[in-house]
Structure 1
C-alpha cells in the first residue's frame, strides 16, 4: 500500500518520514576532583522535553518537518566529579525503558541521535558512553542508525566509534557552535536515512576512519581563538567539503580524567573510502605536526602574579581566571584557596580599596545566615571546602550582605558578601559565571569593577568581550592546568606533554571502523 505504513511486514514505506529517537547523558567529570555527581544534577528531560530543548527540532523547523522525533531521555550535568554508579544505572535504566516503549510503537524506529559530551566518568566503569550505547543497541538493534554529537573535549574510543554510524563534535573552543554541531549531527542522520531509502538498502553505511594521536592537552592550550588550534580546526571544514565526505572532526580529548581512552582523536566519515582516509590522515598530520606548538590561550602566572599585574595595570576591568577549580571543566567549585588568598591581600581589606568581584564559593549554611539577616546586615559566615579541602579548608569571613537572589537553575540561592573592597559571591549550590547578567542580576557591575576573578579557564565570549585585559592564573585544584602535577597513572604512554623526551612518530594511518575488526587496530588501540 502506497499511502500506508508498510509495503510488507517489517518493511517501511519510503514515502513516510523517518522516525528518530533522542537519548544521551552528558557530563564532563574529573577523576581528580573529590566531589561526586548524582542523578538530579543531570536535570533529565523526557519525551517532548527532549525536542523542546532544541530550536532546530521545534515544530515548523526544516528538521522537524522531514523526520518524526521521539524523545527518550537526555541529561546534561554541570561538569564536576565522577558520576556515582547508582546515578548512572538509574538514568541508563530509564533511557532503556523509554527506548523500549519507543521501539514497540509503529512506525518502527529508524535512527537515534546520541546527545552526549564524551568525558563522563562513572564509578567502576571505563568508556561509559560506549557502554551506554552498547546497552542501547540491545534495545534498538544493530539496524537503527546512530548519530552522535559531542564536545571536542570528549573522548572517542574505538568502541564508541564502532557503535555509532555517524559522529561529530564542536569545531570551536569556546563552544560557540554547540547548537550548530548538534543540528549537523541530526541533519547528517536524516540525510543518511534518506540515502538508504533511495538506495533501497537499510544496511547502507558510510566509511568511518579513526586515528588516535598520543596528545592530551587542556582546553586552555587548544582554544580555537589562537594558533595552532585556529588553523587546525579551520581545516576541518575544508576536509568536510571534499566530494565523498559527510563529516570531519577532531577531538582534543579530556585532560582531567585518568582513563585509557583519553587522548586526541581524528574521525572522518563518508562514502568514498580513499577520500575519507586521505582526509583523516591530512587532519591527523596537521595536528601532530603542531603538537609542540600548543601554548596557553592568554598570559599566565601564579595567582599572586596575576593580582599584582592587575593592580599595576590601568586596564579596567581586569579579569583573572582562577582555573584550578573551574566548575565548567570538572572542578568541584567549592575550593576556598583563591578567595582566601584574595582576602588576605592588604589592598582589599578596606572598603575604599580597589573593587574586586570573586565568583564564587558554595556555602549553603553561609547563604542561609545571610538570607536570614537580609541585605545591608553584617554577618560572619563560613563557606566552602565541604567537598574539596585538599588545598584549603573552610573560609570564615565577616562582611555586609550586598545582594540576594533566589531561583537560579544551578545555584538556587546566591548571596554577595562585601568584605573590605571585595565582593564575594556565595551560593547554595555551585554555579558557573559566564554571562554579564550573572553579575548584574546580583547588583554587581563587572564593567565598572577594577578586577573580576572567576573560576573559569579561557574566558567565555561575554567575559572575553568585557575584559580590558586578562590573565590565566595557574592555580591548584581538580582541573589543574599542570597536568603532570596531577599524577595520571592509567593513560596510554607515551603521551604528549607527559613524555616530552619520547618523540616517537605515531602511526597516522587511517583505521577503518566497521563490524569486522580492522587489521591495523592492535590490541592496545
Structure 2
C-alpha cells in the first residue's frame, strides 16, 4: 500500500480581465466547493464531477491517501500574489508535514497565471518536487485548456488531460490518472519526456471535441501503454498571456524513441488540421433574426450562445449586447441566462414576486461601451440560488450562487444571479421554474460547455459575438509575454504583426 499525497489548485486565468482573483474568492462556495483542507477534501470532493473524485474512487481502497488541500477559483483575472502564496504555501507546507510519501497526485487546471509567476502550475510543481525529492513520482491531471510549459513537464511524471470539451470526463480523467500512477509506481519514475508546442493559438470556439478535427485528435491520447506513462494533447487557453500559451502535445515514458515518436505523430496530426478549426459566428442582431426565423416553425428551442460573456473564460456575465438585441427585435418567449447582477437580484427580492421594479440591469463591469438596460421589469420568480446541479459537465455539485430572480421585459425573461456561473447546466433555470426544453429561444452565456446539456434539446445553435471581456478571436488580445512568431489564430497573423 502506497502513501499518496493528493491536492488541487485550479485557476483558468484571463490576463485581460478584471478584477484580479484574490484569496477570498477561492474561499467562496459557488458552483464548486470553497477551499477545503485535510479530510474535508475527501468528504467534499468524493462522488463529485472533479478529477480528484475519480482519482480517489480508483485508489482509496488500494492505497493510503493523504489529503492536503483543494481549491478552484474558476476563471477570472490574474491570481493575486497574496492568494497564490497563501494557497501554494499551505499546500506545500502540508506536504512537508506529511513526511515520507510514495507518490503525489495533483488535480490542476494548467492555465493559471499569477502576479508573481506567469507559470503558476510550473512554479507549484517545482516547489512540490523540491519537497519530495527526485525519486517520488508526481502525476497530475489537467484541464483540456491547459497552457503546458517546460517546467510543468520537467517536474511531473505523467500528465493526464480531459479528453472532452464540453468537459464531461473530469472524474474519468482522475481515474485515468490513477492508472498512470499505478504503472509509475510499478516501474519507477519515467526518465524520458517530450513537449511539442504548436505554432498557432486555437480559439476556444474551435476546440470543441464533439466535432472534427478535435474529436479525432484527442482520441489518440494514451495512458499507461507500452513504454508510455502518458501521451496528451492540450488545446490551450488563449486569454492567458504567457510565453508558452497555446496548444501542446506532451509525452512521458521510459524509452526516448517511443516518447518522441508518439509526440511527433500526434503533433503532425494537429498541425495538418490547422485549416479545419473554424466555427461560424455572427452579430447579436443577425443571430436573433435567424433565431426568430427558425423558431417560427420549430418544435424545439433555438439556442443563441453569447460566447464572449462566458464567466468560464473570465467574462463578467453581465454584458447586455444580446439582451438588447432580443428586446429590440421584439422577441417573444425568450429566456436569457445567466446574467450576474447582485444589485438587480437584491432589488427584485426587496420588491417581491409580481412586482414591477425599475432596474438598470447588467452592463456594470465592462468592457467599454457596454451599458445597462434600464427599464421597468416584472419580477416573475425569486430563488435562493442554492440548488444541486444535474448535467454532464458539472452534475452533482451543491451550488450557491446567491439570491436569484427571473425578470421579464416584454417577451424576454432574464435569469439573474448574484454570483457568476456559466450557463452549462439546466438546474439554475429550473430553480426559477424555467424548463429549457419548452422555450422558443434560449440565450446562454457560454462558449462551448452549454453544448453538452442544451444542444441535444436544440433545433439549432447560433454563436453570436456581442461585446465581452473574453475575445473569441485571440488576435485581438494585446499580448505582452507570448513568444514571437506564434500565429494568433489558425492560418492567422503572427504575433508582433508579421504576415502569416
Same fold (TM over 0.5): yes
Aligned 8 A contact 2:46 2:56 in 1 = no
Confirm whether residue 491 of structure 1 aligns to residue 464 of structure 2.
no
2:16 to 28, 32, 35: 32
Aligned 8 A contact 2:317 2:445 in 1 = yes
Question: Which secondary structure does the structure 2 equivalent of 1:185 belong to?
Answer: helix
Q: Aligned partners of 1:87 and 1:384: how far apart in 2?
A: 28
1:127 to 105, 116, 119: 119
Q: Aligned partners of 1:364 and 1:271: how far apart in 2?
A: 53
Query: Using a 3 Å threshold, how does the CA distance of structure 1 residues 372 and 263 change in structure 2: closer, same or farther?
Result: same
Which residue pairs with 2:218 in the alignment? 233
What are the equivalent positions in structure 2 for 1:46-445 lying under 5 Å apart?
A: 46-52=37-43, 53-55=45-47, 61-103=57-99, 108-196=100-188, 204-237=189-222, 243-296=226-279, 299-313=280-294, 314-315=297-298, 316-343=300-327, 345-348=328-331, 354-408=332-386, 409-445=399-435
Aligned 8 A contact 1:82 1:123 in 2 = yes
Query: Using a 3 Å threshold, how does the CA distance of structure 1 residues 143 and 387 change in structure 2: closer, same or farther?
Result: farther
Q: Aligned partners of 1:167 and 1:173: how far apart in 2?
A: 17
CA deviation map 1:177-215 (0-9, x unaligned): 11111221123113312334xxxxxxx434222111112
The Cα of 1:291 is off from its aligned counterpart by 1.2
Q: Aligned partners of 1:442 and 1:129: how far apart in 2?
A: 38
Which residue pairs with 1:519 in the alignment? none
Aligned 8 A contact 1:266 1:284 in 2 = yes
The Cα of 1:433 is off from its aligned counterpart by 2.0
Unaligned segments of structure 2, at least 5 residues: 27-33, 387-398, 495-500
Which residue pairs with 1:8 in the alignment? none
Q: How many residues align?
A: 466
Query: Using a 3 Å threshold, how does the CA distance of structure 1 residues 257 and 391 change in structure 2: closer, same or farther?
Result: farther
Question: Which secondary structure does the structure 2 equivalent of 1:281 belong to?
Answer: helix
Which residue pairs with 1:517 in the alignment? none
Q: Aligned partners of 1:441 and 1:501: how far apart in 2?
A: 43
The Cα of 1:382 is off from its aligned counterpart by 2.3
Q: Aligned partners of 1:346 and 1:499: how far apart in 2?
A: 34
Which residue pairs with 2:457 in the alignment? 466
CA deviation map 1:435-489 (0-9, x unaligned): 2222111111221211100111123311111211111112222211122123334
The Cα of 1:59 is off from its aligned counterpart by 12
Query: Using a 3 Å threshold, how does the CA distance of structure 1 residues 63 and 234 change in structure 2: closer, same or farther?
Result: same
Q: Aligned partners of 2:284 and 2:9: how far apart in 1?
A: 35
CA deviation map 1:108-155 (0-9, x unaligned): 211111111011121242111111222223333333211010011011
Which residue pairs with 1:452 in the alignment? 442
The Cα of 1:61 is off from its aligned counterpart by 4.7
Aligned 8 A contact 2:39 2:67 in 1 = yes
Aligned 8 A contact 2:190 2:229 in 1 = no
Question: Which secondary structure does the structure 2 equivalent of 1:230 belong to?
Answer: helix
Query: Using a 3 Å threshold, how does the CA distance of structure 1 residues 30 and 23 change in structure 2: closer, same or farther?
Result: same
Query: Using a 3 Å threshold, how does the CA distance of structure 1 residues 418 and 502 change in structure 2: closer, same or farther?
Result: closer
TM-score, normalised with respect to structure 1: 0.84
Q: Aligned partners of 1:195 and 1:29: how far apart in 2?
A: 35
Q: Aligned partners of 1:257 and 1:217: how far apart in 2?
A: 12
Aligned 8 A contact 2:201 2:474 in 1 = no
Aligned 8 A contact 1:59 1:65 in 2 = no
Question: Which secondary structure does the structure 2 equivalent of 1:49 belong to?
Answer: helix
The Cα of 1:58 is off from its aligned counterpart by 8.8
Aligned 8 A contact 1:337 1:391 in 2 = no
Q: Which stretch of structure 1 is more off in the superposition, 57-66 or 391-400? A: 57-66
Q: Aligned partners of 2:481 and 2:489: how far apart in 1?
A: 12
Q: Aligned partners of 2:87 and 2:57: how far apart in 1?
A: 29
Structure number with bigger Rg? 1
Query: Using a 3 Å threshold, how does the CA distance of structure 1 residues 32 and 59 change in structure 2: closer, same or farther?
Result: closer
Q: Which stretch of structure 1 is more off in the superposition, 83-92 or 240-249? A: 240-249
